[in-house]
Chains A and B, each alone.
Chain A
Amino acid sequence: MIHSLFLVNASGDIFLEKHWKSVVSRSVCDYFFEAQERATEPENVPPVIPTPHHYLISVLRHRIYFVAVIQSEVPPLFVIEFLHRVVDTFQDYFGVCTEAAIKDNVVVVYELLEEMLDNGFPLATESNILKELIKPPTILRTMVNTITGSTNVGEQLPTGQLSVVPWRRTGVKYTNNEAYFDVVEEIDAIIDKSGSTITAEIQGVIDACVKLTGMPDLTLSFMNPRLLDDVSFHPCVRFKRWEAERILSFIPPDGNFRLLSYHVSSQNLVAIPVYVKHNITFREGSSQGRFDLTLGPKQTMGKAVESVLVSSQLPRGVLNANLNPSQGTYTFDPVTKMLSWDVGKINPQKLPSLKGTMSLQAGASKPDENPSINIQFKIQQMAISGCTQAGQTL
């Protein structure tokens, strides 16, 4: 299974390595660097790279490549999924997963990696168990450790590994019992230039933060479970109950976790809550182009559309853009030709717009690419799929 792990930063330095079996020389990463050079974009490095004696499987997260070295046949998704789990754990422990954070907590990182894999096979990947074994660093604890000279290795034994609900740590006590559920829905849509939706699909997740004493058994029901086309669960959810009654019944892990993610298929009609009016033209012969973009809300059920961010990759011929936003700020990177406009909140009375001219390379002919426009936005307290929670019981 997984032989070794190398962490490579954006500038191509190996800043951490860990071996679970015999030591693999770091020169094996040269193949990775070769592939990295060949790829134009950082995310275009192929996830699986064969080398004469090893296979390199890498994931890119937070501008760090996590390169796993394996020697024999293993499902690639197994390794990829595990690496992502490692990143998630780091993020959970250190808040961010950056090179600096990893270097600051290098001992904890090693301890974690040691516990997560045994001889290349995943051992403990549940955050609850890991936290029992190795306490996450906090400012206070670092202070205490500095004074007393103790480390983050938990003194107690990982009894959680023995229980029938391995995801929940034992002996949880809270004075305030509380449970929060966040329903986050994302809508992905491709809209053609005339404004008609080509495809739209909704992806939702329910993230939970449960702080309850003992071994709580929760149930969660939906008003309209039929909407959920395809779901995937945290292992704690009893699948049979969902199959039979469409009720989520589970003993939750302690702390934050993702309870389920669901998918509302594109067959259902999705109303996109914003619209874009655009007019981007280049005139043949002149070195000027016009750029005009207006955003507006539609069907938001009275909720405000917030943190709107528009980005567009302009054609290579564009030298500079001289635009005038009615609200927010915009930036244009002349090297990557990336235009981004931070709009903020959309005010339905006064629609935000971005107008102006683009200067093109002199003499170059009219670019024939169509720039695509990406829009990100947030709407609080609205479930676009119309999915509602009916109730929850303990």
Chain B
Amino acid sequence: MSASSAFNDEKGGSSSVGEPEYGHDPASGGIFSSDYKRHDDLKEMLDSNKDSLKLEAMKRIVAVIIHIIWNSIFFFIGMFCSHCSSLQVKKLVYVYLVRYAEEQQDLALLSISTFQRGLKDPNQLIRASALRVLSSIRVTIIVPIMMLAIKEAASDMSPYVRKTAAHAIPKLYSLDPEQKDQLIEVIEKLLADKTTLVAGSVVMAFEEVCPERIDLIHKNYRKLCNLLIDVEEWGQVVIINMLTRYARTQFLNPNMNESLLEEGSGGDRTFYGSDEDEDEDEEEKEKKAETPAMAKRKPYVMDPDHRLLLRNTKPLLQSRNAAVVMAVAQLYFHLAPKAEVGVIAKALVRLLRSHSEVQYVVLQNVATMTIKRRGMFEPYLKSFYIRSTDPTQIKVLKLEVLTNLANETNISTILREFQTYIKSMDKDFVAATIQAIGRCATNIGEVRDTCLNGLVQLLSNRDELVVAESVVVIKKLLQMQPEKHSDIIKHMAKLTDNIQVPMARASILWLIGEYCEHVPKIAPDVLRKMAKSFTNEEDIVKLQIINLAAKLYLTNSKQTKLLTQYVLNLAKYDQNYDIRDRARFIRQLIVPTEKSGALSKYAKKLFLALKPAPVLESPFKDRDHFQLGSLSHLLNAKAGGYQELPDWPEAAPDPSVRNVEVPEWTKCSSREKRKEKKVEKPFYSDSEGESGPTESADSGNFSWLLSDSASGSESGSGSEESASRSESEESEDGSESEEEEEEEEEEKEKKKKKKELKKPVQESERKCSFHANVYQPSLYNWALVSMTLHLVLCLQTIAPSSALKNYELLHRITGEGLSVEYCFSRQPFSPDANMVAVQMQFTNNATADTKNLHIEDVKLQSGMRVKEFSEIELLPAGETATAVMGIDFCDSTQAANFQLCTHTRKFFVSIQPPVGELMRPVFLTENEFKKEQGQLMGMNEITEKLTLDMKCRNEHTIVQRVTTAANLSRVPCGSDKEFAGRTVSSSSLVLVTVATKEEGAAQLTVNCEKMVIGTMLVKDILLALTQ
């Protein structure tokens, strides 16, 4: 059996697909009948052990799909094949399965187990493709399985699998919208992902599933902005469109204060406010407090996040992908201050050199933009000149743009250009040009006469279409100043003999009727001619004849009475009821009879009232209420699933919701100042807690806390609150009940608490005493306690840490007396060099002994390994024990989750390493360092500029801070401060350079093969140095 024969079949089959009656075609019928015969051997082939035979069979089956011939037997066989090992066969089976699963649901279920097995495969690519196919099977019964698979994949270690999970979300959603809430949770989780691979896909899922949940974006906004440039191009389009909507809800209109327009002063501020020192922070706080009041009297200041978005999208105008360029263009159009929108013009003009379909879409958008911001495209006027090779639809759009761009200064060149266009052979285009001339003439008074003369000349054109179009346009122009142009009207009256185009005839008749005083001699004659040909005219012309007759009857009844009667009589028996109605109506109105009432007195006023001149408007006038670049904008109609672009808010929502909270670098500006404040209090500054807090100090503390949470400023839970508040304000569908939200909130709170528990705590003694105090006045609810906790922990992180940071694994309250802390001892872990050593300290604060301390049920991301510590058999009350365990984190900061078991209880705990702990120091000489650095250039190099903290300008502190943040060793000598290390699992080199300059300016460079590690490390070190 040869492949070529299979191909031949396909050819024969597919060529006949176009004709539905191919069954009757003897030739193709022959092919198909022979096909049927071959099905027998297909089965044998699929059952055989040889991959090549199976493959051949599958190829034929896939070919059959194309012919849409269904035969369920293949499906069975497909099931067997899906167990087979060859990747080639699998692929084809997948194609097949996805296509027909919906129709043969029961059979499709047979294959599910294969994919479930695939989901556990050690190879990430196989996991991903298994998930991809599983989620593509549109069978409702497997929804729970899909849900489970997606959830699992969302926390997979491989970003590629996570990306696939993001892709699977909309599939599941379209299959079963009931899953929305659960899916939103997954989306929320994936939105927090820091890899570029995932970002685009998850935002896509967000847009499909829950575009109204803008609150999910807050925390990820800055990250998305920063990642944007590295996301793949399709993802960029989706993210930019989403961010446009987001920005419209969160920031103030940059053009609201046009006269006082100012560049955002925060433009160059660094991302996290943390590098500013204390007193500036105070100012900052004051400023923020004043913001609403300021907006009224002070010039507009752009939110730094708004500026960040504009700054980070600008380079994308240089993308090769037209869709990305358009997305950025619309973002600038909708969001940027007026002065900055201009940058997009150049890029859009560049797109005009692309395929005609791209031109079509771009020109539509440019046409809308030119109405609002004409100046932007004026320098590019010539780029919109029409080429003879353009398709008509492009020509017409270009005309539209040219017309919009026309003003007093350039009108002469544009008109000259139009004159050439009129001689084109494309008649539709000529007609559009005439319209365009008409519009220029109405918009620009100076050239009206010139245009009119030009158009009148066109009346002698041989082409009827041109003449007709000119007549229509002239009619509109004449309405503006009819007195001057009676000769033109006369000229046009003559044309009635020749012009056959109904619209033009109607226009002429209307003109003559309207201005019959200017042509008193000709008008009755025209009516006479028209009455003669009345029966042969088009409807639209007939109506105008009746109008003309009525108007003449009113002005010149002596001459036209009989004619009018005649016309009205003809109209009375017309086939069209509209015309009959009109005739009846007019007869009653103008011919005075005894019955006719008061109205006929006013007939003249009715008919010959001064009519306002028509305004010739661009069809693109009001299109900009649709988001530019969208399908809805293109069609000028709302497409399904279109998300309205919201109006700018009156006052900016709280910008602090975008502050990011990540355990390792929580300390954003606002929190910091609070800490500083607290440090002043004697209680906290005490090195040991033995003095014990006085009641007054304590209560004072709590009242402060209370007021703080009420004001909803930037503490952790405060921001949560404001986030949910803004959500409830904005969310348009009230589907989520308040209760649910509260529940969610509580859940978040709990999560937060868990997170906080992991935070570094240094002196357990002190903490204990404090918590005892918290509990005694048990008036305060859970949330408050968690807040307090939070605060205490924050406090302690700023205390100068010794070389090793302690982290809490199990708090004594949750642990019922057992507290566990751990630290990364930075010692090599002897049983396995690829593991990070974690030193754990168990303290038994309870009154009873704890026995059999050990680890159970280790849950890890694939690839990670754990070497447990040996069981501690007995931990007497009040005693402390230490143990060391090893964890191979696979160079990722994914947490290792496990259960800590005592003889009575089990506690769920997790260890998440800071990125700095994932490496071990290596010794390099300066030369070696330079050499290695030279090899890790390009994508592997990350450079960041920073301003060093006042306290951290000398070399010693810098070295200390860097080595505290990351387990690296310093390269001896050397002008800059250089550090080197290798990651523990894969031994990839990590090189860090801190180059200091005067005034505390410095540059941090990290070279690392693993980009993710590199980026995270940069952030950590940056934070360590700037605090």
Chain A interface residues toward B at CB < 8 A: 1, 9, 11-16, 19, 21-23, 40-41, 43-44, 46-48, 50, 55, 58-61, 70-78, 80-82, 84, 103-104, 106-107, 110-111, 114, 118-119, 121-123, 125, 142, 145-146, 148-151, 153, 155, 157-159, 161-162, 164-166, 188, 190, 192, 198-199, 201, 203, 217, 229-235, 238-240, 243, 249, 251, 258, 261, 263, 266, 313, 315-316, 365, 368-372, 374
A119 and B630 form a contact (CB under 8 A):
no
Residue of B229, B629, B938 most packed against chain A (CB within 10 A) = B938
Interface residues of B, count at CB 8 A: 108
A55 and B358 form a contact (CB under 8 A):
no
Collect the chain A residues with CB atoms within 8 Å of residue B1011's CB: 164
Segment 156-183 of B: residues with Cβ below 8 Å from A: 158-160, 164, 167-168, 170-171, 174
Residue of A55, A118, A249 most packed against chain B (CB within 10 A) = A118
Collect the chain A residues with CB atoms within 8 Å of residue B126's CB: 157
The 8 closest A-B pairs by CB, nearest first: A13-B18, A72-B641, A149-B52, A199-B382, A73-B642, A43-B391, A372-B388, A77-B323
List 18 other contacts, CB 8 Å, given A78-B237, A107-B59. A22-B102, A47-B357, A75-B630, A80-B357, A80-B361, A81-B323, A84-B357, A110-B66, A111-B95, A118-B136, A148-B52, A151-B59, A153-B88, A199-B383, A217-B937, A231-B318, A233-B318, A261-B320
Residue of B241, B382, B417 most packed against chain A (CB within 10 A) = B382
Q: Is B632 an interface residue (CB 8 A)?
A: yes
A119 and B237 form a contact (CB under 8 A):
no
A72 and B640 form a contact (CB under 8 A):
yes
A232 and B320 form a contact (CB under 8 A):
yes
Main secondary structure of the interface of B (DSSP, over half): helix
Q: Is B4 an interface residue (CB 8 A)?
A: yes
Distance in Å: Cβ of A134 to nearest Cβ of chain B: 9
Collect the chain A residues with CB atoms within 8 Å of residue B124's CB: 162
For the complex, give the distance between the alpha carbons of A22 and B91 in Å. Answer: 19
For the complex, give the distance between the alpha carbons of A162 and B158 in Å. Answer: 9
Distance in Å: Cβ of A32 to nearest Cβ of chain B: 14
A–B Cβ pairs within 8 angstroms, 13 of them? A16-B14, A60-B357, A61-B355, A80-B358, A121-B201, A158-B125, A161-B125, A198-B382, A232-B325, A233-B319, A240-B315, A369-B425, A370-B420
Collect the chain A residues with CB atoms within 8 Å of residue B349's CB: 230, 263
Collect the chain B residues with CB atoms within 8 Å of residue A198's CB: 382, 385, 417
Collect the chain B residues with CB atoms within 8 Å of residue A157's CB: 87, 123, 125-126
Q: Is B17 an interface residue (CB 8 A)?
A: yes
A369 and B423 form a contact (CB under 8 A):
yes
B241 and A75 form a contact (CB under 8 A):
yes
Answer whether A47 and B642 are a contact pair too, CB < 8 Å, given A230-B347, A233-B320, A251-B938. Answer: no
Collect the chain A residues with CB atoms within 8 Å of residue B241's CB: 75
Q: Is B710 an interface residue (CB 8 A)?
A: no
For the complex, give the distance between the alpha carbons of A148 and B10 in Å. Answer: 20
Q: Is B415 an interface residue (CB 8 A)?
A: no
Distance in Å: Cβ of B167 to nearest Cβ of chain A: 5
Answer whether A235 and B3 are a contact pair too, CB < 8 Å, given A43-B391, A73-B641, A313-B388. Answer: no
Collect the chain B residues with CB atoms within 8 Å of residue A43's CB: 356, 391
Answer whether A149 and B125 are a contact pair too, CB < 8 Å, given A13-B19, A119-B171. Answer: no
Distance in Å: Cβ of A100 to nearest Cβ of chain B: 9
Collect the chain A residues with CB atoms within 8 Å of residue B123's CB: 157
A119 and B319 form a contact (CB under 8 A):
no
Indicate with 1 or 0, residue by residue over B391-421, a CB within 8 angstroms of chain A CB atoms: 1110000000000000000000000010010
- Contact partner of B318 (CB less than 8 A), chosen from A148, A166, A239, is A239
Q: Is B346 an interface residue (CB 8 A)?
A: yes
A243 and B62 form a contact (CB under 8 A):
no
Indicate with 1 or 0, residue by residue over B130-141, a CB within 8 angstroms of chain A CB atoms: 001001101000
For the complex, give the distance between the alpha carbons of A319 and B496 in Å. Answer: 31
A77 and B87 form a contact (CB under 8 A):
no
B387 and A188 form a contact (CB under 8 A):
yes
A72 and B388 form a contact (CB under 8 A):
no
Answer whether A230 and B323 are a contact pair too, CB < 8 Å, given A77-B358, A201-B383, A316-B425. Answer: no
B170: nearest residue on chain A (CB-CB)?
A: A119
For the complex, give the distance between the alpha carbons of A159 and B102 in Å. Answer: 31
A239 and B229 form a contact (CB under 8 A):
yes
Distance in Å: Cβ of A238 to nearest Cβ of chain B: 8
Collect the chain B residues with CB atoms within 8 Å of residue A13's CB: 17-19
Distance in Å: Cβ of A206 to nearest Cβ of chain B: 12
Distance in Å: Cβ of A225 to nearest Cβ of chain B: 14
For the complex, give the distance between the alpha carbons of A121 and B462 in Å. Answer: 53
Collect the chain B residues with CB atoms within 8 Å of residue A111's CB: 91, 95
Distance in Å: Cβ of A201 to nearest Cβ of chain B: 7
Q: Is B487 an interface residue (CB 8 A)?
A: no
Answer whether A150 and B52 are a contact pair too, CB < 8 Å, given A122-B234, A198-B382. Answer: yes
For the complex, give the distance between the alpha carbons of A119 and B171 in Å. Answer: 7
Q: Is B71 an interface residue (CB 8 A)?
A: no
For the complex, give the distance between the alpha carbons of A325 and B809 in Å. Answer: 92
Collect the chain B residues with CB atoms within 8 Å of residue A106's CB: 7, 10-11, 14, 63, 66
Q: Is B321 an interface residue (CB 8 A)?
A: yes
A107 and B63 form a contact (CB under 8 A):
yes
For the complex, give the distance between the alpha carbons of A61 and B356 in Å. Answer: 10
Answer whether A121 and B55 are a contact pair too, CB < 8 Å, given A19-B99, A80-B357, A151-B88. Answer: no
- Contact partner of A80 (CB less than 8 A), chosen from B87, B170, B355, is B355
B95 and A47 form a contact (CB under 8 A):
no
For the complex, give the distance between the alpha carbons of A155 and B164 in Å. Answer: 21
- Contact partner of B322 (CB less than 8 A), chosen from A77, A125, A155, A201, is A77
Collect the chain B residues with CB atoms within 8 Å of residue A261's CB: 320
For the complex, give the distance between the alpha carbons of A43 and B359 in Å. Answer: 12
B94: nearest residue on chain A (CB-CB)?
A: A114
For the complex, give the distance between the alpha carbons of A101 and B1 in Å. Answer: 23
For the complex, give the distance between the alpha carbons of A121 and B2 in Å. Answer: 35
Collect the chain B residues with CB atoms within 8 Å of residue A78's CB: 234, 237, 323
A77 and B53 form a contact (CB under 8 A):
no
Residue of A110, A142, A164 most packed against chain B (CB within 10 A) = A164
A155 and B87 form a contact (CB under 8 A):
yes
- Contact partner of B939 (CB less than 8 A), chosen from A40, A61, A164, A233, is A164
B167 and A121 form a contact (CB under 8 A):
yes
Collect the chain B residues with CB atoms within 8 Å of residue A47's CB: 357, 360-361
Collect the chain B residues with CB atoms within 8 Å of residue A107's CB: 7, 10, 59, 62-63
B355 and A84 form a contact (CB under 8 A):
yes
Answer whether A14 and B17 are a contact pair too, CB < 8 Å, given A80-B361, A155-B88. Answer: yes
For the complex, give the distance between the alpha carbons of A159 and B323 in Å. Answer: 27
Distance in Å: Cβ of B47 to nearest Cβ of chain A: 16
